[in-house]
Amino acid sequence: MSDLEVPLRPKRKKGLVDFFVQFRWIFVILVVLPFSCAYYFLIYLGDVRSEMKSFEQRQKEHDENVKKVMKRLKQRNPKKDGLVCTARKPWIAVGMRNVDYKRARHFEVDLSAFRNILEIDKERMIARVEPLVNMGQITRVTVPMNLSLAVVAELDDLTVGGLINGYGIEGSSHIYGLFSDTVVAYEIVLADGRVVRATKDNEYSDLFYAIPWSQGTLGLLVAAEIKLIPIKEYMRLTYTPVVGNLKELAQGYIDSFTPRDCDQDNPEKVPEFVEGMIYSPTEGVFMTGRYASKEEAKKKGNKINNVGWWFKPWFYQHAQTALKKGEFVEYIPTREYYHRHTRCLYWEGKLILPFGDQWWFRFLLGWMMPPKVSLLKATQGEAIRNYYHDLHVIQDMLVPLYKVGDALEWVHQEMEIYPIWLCPHRLFKLPVKTMVYPEPGFEHQHRQGDTPYAQMFTDVGVYYAPGPVLRGELFDGAEAVRKMEKWLIENHSFQPQYAVSELNEKDFWRMFDARLYEHVRRKYGAVGTFMSVYYKSKKGRKTEKEVQEAEQAHLETAYAEVDQPMD
């Protein structure tokens, strides 16, 4: 068997749940889409009402809501009440995990009121926002000002709090890093009810660096100050097809945004946006973008594509046309470009609604897309949920740029999933070692994309049904994820925690560095108040006894190595 040959697998016997999954589209069209549309409209009205208030009124409401959170935390009796978590329902989170930790007894704190944009400071180029502000809401306010967050995650529903406490990326991350790297200050309510403002250079700098990837286990985020950048009305996007084997596709992707002379900070050589899609083991399309003015976009001969219109082809399929017609350039309105994957949920929409990409469906019902992920989760039931865990993959692999080819070959051999999404991001060399960090000594290797202060990584996004499942063959999803996690650990790579994980605690702390995180948990009283990040991310149901035993064990764990000096 050649290196890239996929293993032969026996056929899988189908059951009743396969029938429900196959015809779930009926329920989605009749129930989920109408309710999603109504929900989005109500949220939009709420956002409009918020925007009509003065910044002073929003700040006053914010201060009052923070006081309520502080009061609520101080009411908790550690001897009687469970660990603290938000009152948000388990199915609301965007991602495959169904937030199983909330099935155990817990002490709820309601943060549902924290969904306002508090201030757009054009002088400091800072947006001060509450954690439930989502990407659609913030771009609706900033883009008309020709301003934007430095990193805007593609899906409208993704919230500031989730992108900070978890993980967020976009096509500009090869310049600005992950979403959390663009935050300049956090407003956090600590375990004892105190509210503090953490920045990289004040007395809470250790807390500032520890918050990203901590999953809200250090305190309750109530506001963040995030970097703004100037933008223009359009994105000039170039679609470049590449044909070859997976290693050649990887090199074509690397060459699309990293100069071979390592002049990575030269804006003349590096595009402002980068994205890649691998459609098969031999075909890929890489997109590079630069902001463009309205005057440039409307010049004679230039093509403007309003990809946000409901009847337009899904973006990933539109990009795929470059494989037939060759390289082409078009101009996309900036906000529509930011949210280009929202309507079809990347390509997951094809599985949810098999005919959703057809012209007649787009024209008649495309305006109702996408179905809200939280409603899909809320209505799927335990059997369908387990089916997706076993026979479907939604994972991101954050790998060093020079290992992208190896990652693509691994995904092909073990999962055989296409398309694959590629998005680069910087991983900065910080004053302290955080949960995710560059490879030691990377700055001496002088690889493409790296600079002395940051190593270039890439998100290899693996979202779809594996090839064996589509062919009706046996596939063990849990085992495939375990193999993926093993590969990530061995290759200094990381798995975002929104996804289903099979890691045990020892391997979790082999993948991530615990020292700063554990130091901050102890220093600010999070131990015994908030669940540990591993146990919060752990797959499966959790009883109150399990939660208590895990937290007690966490106090004595050897994995954290808290007594070792931090780098």
**pLDDT, tens only, 221-239:** 999 999 999 999 999 999 9
Burial of 2 (0-12, 13-18, 19+ CB in 10 A): exposed
Residues carrying CATH 3.30.70, the chain: 386-504
Question: 295 or 4: whose pLDDT is higher?
Answer: 295
Q: Does the pLDDT at position 103 exceed 70?
A: no
Question: 87 or 244: whose pLDDT is higher?
Answer: 244
Are the C-beta atoms of 182 and 152 separated by less than 8 Å?
A: no
Instruction: Specify the pLDDT at position 561.
Output: 44
Give the integer Cα–Cα distance in Å for 512 and 477: 23
What sign for the dihedral angle of Cα 224, 228, 233, 239?
A: negative
**126-157 pLDDT, tens per residue?**
999 999 999 999 999 999 999 999 999 988 88
Please provide the DSSP assignment of 471-530 as one string.
TTB---HHHHHHHHHHHHHHTT-B--TTS-----HHHHHHHS--HHHHHHHHHTT-BTTB
Question: 397 or 12: whose pLDDT is higher?
Answer: 397
What sign for the dihedral angle of Cα 162, 166, 168, 173?
A: positive
Averaged pLDDT for residues 287-315: 96
Instruction: Specify the pLDDT at position 16.
Output: 87
Instruction: Specify the pLDDT at position 535.
Output: 82
Question: 473 or 105: whose pLDDT is higher?
Answer: 473
DSSP 8-state class, residue 268 = T
Share of the chain above pLDDT 70, in %: 90
Strand, coil or helix: what is 294?
helix
Letter for the amino acid at 231? I
Q: Does the pLDDT at position 277 exceed 50?
A: yes
Architecture per CATH, 386-504: 2-Layer Sandwich (3.30)
Share of the chain above pLDDT 90, in %: 70
Give the integer Cα–Cα distance in Å for 225 and 218: 18
The owner of tokens 């400091």 is 124
Averaged pLDDT for residues 466-495: 94
Pairing status of strand 83-86 against strand 106-109 = parallel
Confidence (pTM): 0.91
Instruction: Specify the pLDDT at position 559.
Output: 43
Instruction: Specify the pLDDT at position 547.
Output: 61
Are the C-beta atoms of 87 and 112 separated by less than 8 Å?
A: yes
Q: pLDDT band for 11, please (50, 70, 90 cuts).
A: confident
**511-563 pLDDT, tens per residue?**
999 999 999 999 999 988 888 888 888 766 555 566 666 666 655 553 444 44
Count the neighbouring beta carbons within 10 Å of the beta carbon of residue 265: 12
**368-415 pLDDT, tens per residue?**
999 988 888 878 877 888 888 889 999 999 999 999 999 999 999 999
Q: pLDDT band for 83, please (50, 70, 90 cuts).
A: confident
Q: pLDDT band for 19, please (50, 70, 90 cuts).
A: confident
Are the C-beta atoms of 216 and 259 separated by less than 8 Å?
A: no
Tell me the sheet residues that pair with 185.
Answer: 225
Q: Does the pLDDT at position 2 exceed 50?
A: no
Which range (81-95, 201-215, 520-534) has the least confidence? 81-95
Tell me what the pLDDT averaged over the chain comes to: 90
DSSP 8-state class, residue 114 = -
Q: pLDDT band for 281, please (50, 70, 90 cuts).
A: very high
